[in-house]
Amino acid sequence: MTHFFDADFKLGVLGGGQLGRMLIEAGGPLNIWFSMLDPAADAPCAHIAHEFVQGSFDDYETVLAFGRDKSVITVEIEHVSVPALKQLKKQGKWVYPSPEILEIVQDKGQQKQFFENHGIPTSKFELFDSGSEALQSFGTPCVLKLRKGGYDGRGVMVIKDTHSALPLFDTPVVAEEKVDILKELSVIVSRNASGQTSVFPSVEMYFNSEANLVELLFSPANISPHQEQQAQELGLRVAEAFNLVGIMAVEMFLTPEGTLLVNEVAPRPHNSGHHSIEANITSQYQQHLRALLNLPPGDTALRTPAAMANLLGAKGHDGPVFYQGLEQALATTGVFVHLYGKSHTKPFRKMGHITALANTSEEACAKAQTAARAISVRSSR
Amino acid sequence: MTHFFDADFKLGVLGGGQLGRMLIEAGGPLNIWFSMLDPAADAPCAHIAHEFVQGSFDDYETVLAFGRDKSVITVEIEHVSVPALKQLKKQGKWVYPSPEILEIVQDKGQQKQFFENHGIPTSKFELFDSGSEALQSFGTPCVLKLRKGGYDGRGVMVIKDTHSALPLFDTPVVAEEKVDILKELSVIVSRNASGQTSVFPSVEMYFNSEANLVELLFSPANISPHQEQQAQELGLRVAEAFNLVGIMAVEMFLTPEGTLLVNEVAPRPHNSGHHSIEANITSQYQQHLRALLNLPPGDTALRTPAAMANLLGAKGHDGPVFYQGLEQALATTGVFVHLYGKSHTKPFRKMGHITALANTSEEACAKAQTAARAISVRSSR
């Protein structure tokens, strides 16, 4: 058996964005050798991976060739070539998460069916061949989601009534009941090949409706101990249902009636776990590595309440990046700045994030927002 | 002015060992571009630096050429070419710590004279051209130290009496009074070009007398609040005396009478600050970077008591490394494993370290030692 510290051990990652970057950072203390595959020559991992291969993670031949000399293969994005991963698995490679999980998750229709088939609470839904068909049959208000290809809120539409004059998706969609949402939560779970699991304290998320991105999140979530326990148990149930090896973010809605509904899952490190780098005893990134390498899971406990705010490219700025106001953020106790190494900024592009630690979630949120507002991600001075 | 996030910013580091490695890890979130100069092709930084130059950091031409395209130049080892750094400074490069500090620190004789000239308490000493001369004139018991070239306890001899049949140094030495030592402390201080300083809570160290290496250290030190304040003030006085830019470990003796004496300093990240990665709000590595880049210093407060144990190569093992027992250490709450990426182990070689966090220093020490003992750094399975 190959150990991660052996000279010939190679971890291959499909995708080389900020999640991959923070995975590399987490692997540093364990001296894990990383190779990343990404189409962008200036991807966040390009200059920090041990090996960087420029190419498409969605292309069968490219992924197959990439995987050839790797000991373990994982992903930091879901939109990868599942057939290539199935082939690599057949060849005896360790592919985590399994291609089967990725196949389900890539299709929001299959994902919802999976939840239904495994008794995982989720909102009512139906599958349709197009948005207009859904609108006719499903009724409003509803949420339409592209079955494939959406990300970061792209490919999601909230339809208020049948008179909505929105240009509708003309490809297969999931129509979902528009449930009342009291809170949006995320629970990160891990499981290794030996079946050892872990679950992180839940995270509460606020979305920026203009950018349709997580604007602010904090942990612990402001829910009762009973709800916290239920959320963690539900997260673990989902991981077990998927027979997961790796890490998974389980996004949930908490309804005003106190019901938890699973919205969707991501079988990889997730935006809602960035704060764990400083806030939890073990970060989501190290936990993912531990799961991949069949090492025991680390303690997920929060060391202190925390909040995370994304640093998005300023509106109207498109070009080589300049960060204004970093000094102020860096001078604030308990504020941690993460820049992703993207040389080019665009409006709402995720360029970095801020984590703030404090004695309470509220204080941490205020600190993270103040720090994030002090920083302006611009394309000129 | 160049900012650290500009595309053309380059930080050059003389030395590419574990200290450089952890400096790179600390620079990840700020996306700092690193180039390391080290003679060993398989140095711990070789595969993780953005640029790695194989060459001697003690060679004038090599260092001059290395520094040519760098924005800021620093060190992770003291034994570097001071004339080359002086030349680079003359050319307008930012060289931190200054070549003048390195020149003093490279020579333990000059270092002691510097302390004396600046009213910094230190043990009595005299300089001699050889060990035998020292023994004749200085008296015993005493400590003889090579003025140049010693490290990690090499080049240090404790002489109990004049009848000691030890092979003595025949090059210039410092003879120092053998003071009674109650505790050995280290205080890490930083200062940026704007003169902003910071000081870390002091660290208490235990040495392994066989390996002559720090075996275990913990923070906060087990001293009174008054002594803690005195130690921190003394550390800051030393930094100011040196007109430091960067970080400096100030090693001190606390005598049974309660006097603090500065033993020696290291103007770079230091073994006694490893625990700060997980234990302090800001690590010594990030603090060094902040000082170099003239950013505000981060909060140095301990988040929780911590202990650090070095992982040394096992006796009798010389060859490709194999780590036995990592799982047990990784399964312990609050234990953090750092491997330095050295492919070859040798007896007592520093191969990594363990940091343990706990509610008290005592508990942290016990946990770090248990974890370090669980791991055996071997050359075969």
Specify the pLDDT at position B367.
Answer: 96
A295/B340 CB distance under 8 A: no
3-state per-residue secondary structure call for B183-196? EEEEEEEEECCCCC
Q: With the CA atoms of B298, B301, B306 and B307 taken in that order, what torsion angle do they form, in degrees rounded to the nearest 10?
A: 60
Q: Mind listing the pLDDT tens digit for each residue in A334-347? A: 999 999 999 999 99
Region A92-118 average pLDDT: 97
Cβ atoms within 10 Å of B179's Cβ, excluding its own? 17
Among the partner-chain residues A296, A322, A336, the one whose CB lies closest to the CB of B331 is A296
Specify the pLDDT at position A295.
Answer: 97
Region A144-164 average pLDDT: 80
Q: Mind listing the pLDDT tens digit for each residue in A281-306? A: 999 999 999 999 999 999 999 999 99
Q: What is the distance between the alpha carbons of residues A53 and A174, in angstroms, rounded to a whole number?
A: 35
Specify the pLDDT at position B165.
Answer: 59
Specify the pLDDT at position A329.
Answer: 95
Q: Mind listing the pLDDT tens digit for each residue in B275-316? A: 999 999 999 999 999 999 999 999 999 999 999 999 999 999
Q: What share of chain A is helix, strand, coil (3-state, %, to 5)?
A: 30, 30, 40
Specify the pLDDT at position B214.
Answer: 65
pLDDT band at A7 (very low <50, low <70, confident <90, very high): confident
The alpha carbon of residue B105 is apart from the nearest alpha carbon of chain A, in Å, by 30
Which pair of structure tokens corresponds to residue A199?
């679950």
Specify the pLDDT at position B359.
Answer: 96
- Among A9, A31, A281, pick the best mutation site for testing chain B contact (most B Cβ within 10 A): A31
Residue of B nearest to A25 (CA): B25
Q: Mind listing the pLDDT tens digit for each residue in A246-284? A: 999 999 999 999 999 999 999 999 999 999 999 999 999
Cβ–Cβ < 8 Å for A21, A27: no
Give the number of A-B residue pairs with CB atoms closer than 8 Å.
88
Among the partner-chain residues A24, A29, A47, the one whose CB lies closest to the CB of B336 is A29
Among the partner-chain residues B298, B330, B339, the one whose CB lies closest to the CB of A5 is B339
B7/A340 CB distance under 8 A: no
Q: Give DSSP secondary structure letters for A142-206.
A: EEEEESSS-BTTBTEEEE-STT--PPPP-S-EEEEE----SEEEEEEEEE-TT--EEEPPPEEEE
The alpha carbon of residue A230 is apart from the nearest alpha carbon of chain B, in Å, by 24
B31/A340 CB distance under 8 A: yes
Q: Mind listing the pLDDT tens digit for each residue in A17-63? A: 999 999 999 999 999 999 999 999 999 999 999 999 999 999 999 99
Q: Give A-chain residues touching B327 at CB under 8 angstroms.
A: 295-296
Q: Find where tokens 């208020």 sit.
A: A160
Q: Give B-chain residues touching A47 at CB under 8 angstroms.
A: 33, 50
Among candidates B304, B308, B286, B307, which has minimal Cα distance to B296?
Answer: B286
Region A221-228 average pLDDT: 97
Specify the pLDDT at position A153.
Answer: 66
Q: Give B-chain residues touching A304 at CB under 8 angstroms.
A: 303
Say what the ipTM of the complex is.
0.94
Sign of the dihedral through C-alpha B260, B261, B264, B267: positive
Q: Give A-chain residues touching B30 at CB under 8 angstroms.
A: 337, 339
Region A129-149 average pLDDT: 89
- Among B50, B51, B276, B330, pick the best mutation site for testing chain A contact (most A Cβ within 10 A): B330
Q: Mind listing the pLDDT tens digit for each residue in A167-215? A: 777 889 999 999 999 999 999 999 999 999 999 999 999 876 666 666 7
B203-208 and B183-191 strand pairing: antiparallel
Among the partner-chain residues A330, A339, A340, the one whose CB lies closest to the CB of B296 is A330
Among the partner-chain residues B28, B298, B343, the one whose CB lies closest to the CB of A25 is B28
B281/A340 CB distance under 8 A: no
The alpha carbon of residue A182 is apart from the nearest alpha carbon of chain B, in Å, by 34
Percentage of chain B with pLDDT > 70? 96
Burial tier of B146 (Cβ tally within 10 Å: 0-12, 13-18, 19+): buried
Q: Find where tokens 């009973």 sit.
A: A226
In single-letter form, the type of residue at position B359 comes to: N
Region B251-264 average pLDDT: 97
pLDDT at A135 over 90: no
pLDDT at A157 over 90: no
